[in-house]
Amino acid sequence: MTPKKKILFLCTGNAARSQMGEALARLDWGDVVEPVSAGSKPAGWVHPLAIDAMEELGADMSQARSKPAGEFMGQDLDLVVTLCDSAANDCPVWPGAKQLAHKPVEDPSFGDDDPATRYDRFLERRDEIRQIIAELMREMGWAATEVSK
């Protein structure tokens, strides 16, 4: 059996985008990847709307925690994916990573305060991150099969 590829999703706070990246990769590609996530400046909490958005897909993030990037420093990683410019600037290189990919995604927690609009932004960013992961899986040659949505 081929060992799973280890992917780190990195954002600034590890409160929404990188958390959803980890959960989506586990949901869709868990048979071939071992995803983790972290923040360059961890928020210390996971955004409830990120948890709700993932719950709609059947992914349980209720036990997720915001983790510092240093927790994964020095580990052998097949891919580090930065999902925001700030994290890419904070961590332009990653010792031990075989490859880096920068795929900036707008922070869904910023914008107007209308609750319905805010939640829609989380759903849109979730779906965008899901597409990014599928594209990366194909680019890396790790996609044995397509994921049905």
Q: Give the residue numbers annotated as catalytic, written as ranges.
A: 11, 84, 91
* Dihedral-angle region of residue 143 (phi above 0 means left; psi in -120 to 50 means alpha; beta otherwise): beta
Quick one: which of 99, 2, 107, 121 has its CA closest to 52? 121
Question: First CA to last CA across the chain, in angstroms?
Answer: 26
CA-based radius of gyration for the chain: 14
| 6 close to 75: Cβ distance less than 8 angstroms | yes
CA–CA distance, 52 with 55 (Å, rounded to integer): 5
Fill in the amino acid letter for 101. Answer: A
Count of CB atoms within 10 A of residue 141's CB? Answer: 8
